[in-house]
Amino acid sequence: MGVQTVAQLLQHIVAVELRFAERLADQPATDYANVPYDSIEAIYATHDRTLALLRKLLDSEMNWDEAIEFSTRAMGPARSARKTILFHLLLHGIRHYAQLSTLVRQHGVKPGWPMDYLFMDIEPV
């Protein structure tokens, strides 16, 4: 992966999400160079774009057992079931966020909020 900054890691996460969603939709995969990461707004915009595409796919009559061919950056050409690709798309970012969380804690950064995603948009009642 070869990232040097947190922004590059976040770009990688949303780029993988987007590129696999595009593959599921039979669209060309966006080039990494065209996935902006110069601001958190840009990173979230890519994530939101992915979610909009996924909503359309989930509302469709997609055959999730169908295998499709695609190319990866690390392994080259590959083939897998659409449902496997969807699960990878959903779980990939979780793994990297956990790695990032561990890394910053190891370097003494103490987050001022619980690190679970749920707490980003939770209101106590």
47 is in an annotated binding site: no
DSSP state of 58: H
Give dist(CA 82, CA 10) in Å, integer.
Answer: 24
Helices 6-24 and 82-106: crossing angle, nearest 10°? 170
Annotated binding site for a divalent metal cation: 12, 92, 96
Annotated binding site: 12, 92, 96
